[in-house]
Amino acid sequence: MNPKAHQPDSLPAPGPSALAQSETLAAQIRAEIAQAGGWLPFDRYMERALYAPGLGYYGGGSVKFGRRPEDGSDFITAPELSPLFAATLARPVAQALEASGTHHLMEFGAGTGKLAAGLLNALEALNVPFDTYSIVDLSGELRERQRATIEAEAPALASRVRWLDALPEQFEGVLMGNEVLDAMPVRLFVHAADAWRERGVAVHDDGEFAFDERPVSSPEDAAFLASLEIEGAYLAETHDAARAFTRTICTMLTRGAAFLIDYGFPRHEYYHAQREQGTLMCHYRHRAHGDPFVYPGLQDITAHVEFTGIAEAGVETGADLLGYTSQGRFLLNAGITEVLGDIDPADSARFLPAANAVQKLLSEAEMGELFKVIAFSRGIEETLDAFASGDRTHTL
């Protein structure tokens, strides 16, 4: 494979060992495409590019999370941006634990462990009793980073943390996932000439990956796409994997709550006529671009979340939809300004960076509006303070 063929000029080139890892994964994907008759649906390509053991983006050993491209990272998340995110999230988590009478926590895709360490310390400071903090993460490299972070930042509570290789059949407590849904494989569909086709991945004669389209074969897919009432050229994603994940965790949850935080829109906004290019995006060294075939296994591939489908998936299991709102409103309701107020404004070296980070978390021009929080529950009768005002469940 020509490493320059899918390299936008703005992207730095990886080192020789990383490039060799990418080529090994690309060769495996090409072989799978050949075995499948020359075509794979895009969600299968995305799954391999992100999660292939030892080679995929989340299955390999790249840095991923950080503030600058110089540290080898590709993007930053809210827990990395400010410890006040975890300190504030701890409040609705504590309220859900108390309201459900449960004592266990579980986090999916824990990144570097910053959110886990922050939550552990904040819950301890709030005098909230809890027994275990379970982490579900497919990456062995990230598990080690999480372990090191927790032992360094929450040493007195590290013994309560455990890593799971498989989900339990039942769980009582609070589940959390920050930027988990957007990293799940999506399917691509293209509308043209009044017909929908599924966009997948093929291989050109020169060995390069390329998009290739096939007729929609599933009656269920055809019915859903027809319901969108799209006219003209349009590219859309569907979130089968994210919906399946939501059904799984809401079925597993026998008592307690599940909080999912991610960027996205309700269905009527997601499939808006003006979003005709879809939302698929790639991230490499803090640069965003639209080519998923660049350096397979070395870059993140993501799509915005269609939250109406997530809500439907959870409710189908019998779980209650506890709330849905913007991240900004959720954090304000949960008391992030009070948490910020615990820092002395006279201590400018601490207060000013913290205030700037809170602005990014809350601002409509930053993360406050694009990111949403959706929560499901069983056995919780009351409305959590974090959803007390500005709840947008009616927009789903």
Check pLDDT > 70 for residue 170.
Answer: yes
User: pLDDT tier at 332 (50, 70, 90 boundaries)?
Assistant: very high
Whether pLDDT at 2 is above 80: no
Domain with residue 335: its CATH number is 3.40.50.12710
Cβ pair 175, 249 in contact under 8 A = yes
19-23, 60-64, 224-228: range with lowest mean pLDDT: 60-64
38, 313, 320 from 98: Cα distances, Å: 54, 26, 17
Structure tokens, 197: 């086709």
Give the residue-averaged pLDDT of 339-367: 94
**Domain span at 133:** 1-396
pLDDT band for 9, please (50, 70, 90 cuts). low
Lowest mean pLDDT among 61-65, 136-140, 157-161: 61-65
Over the chain, what is the mean pLDDT? 92
**41-58: average pLDDT:** 95
Residue 93 has pLDDT above 90, yes or no: yes
Q: How far apart are CA 384 and CA 328, in angstroms?
A: 16
Residue 8 has a pLDDT of 59
Mean pLDDT of 245-255: 98
DSSP letters spanning 344-396: -TT-HHHHHHHHHHHHHHH-TTTTTTTEEEEEEEES--SPPGGGSSS--GGG-
pLDDT level of residue 184 (50, 70, 90 thresholds): very high
Q: Are 324 and 396 within 8 A, CB to CB? A: yes
- Check the CA dihedral 265-271-272-276 and report its sign: positive
The total number of structural domains in the chain stands at 1
Look at residue 194 and tell me whether its pLDDT is greater than 50: yes
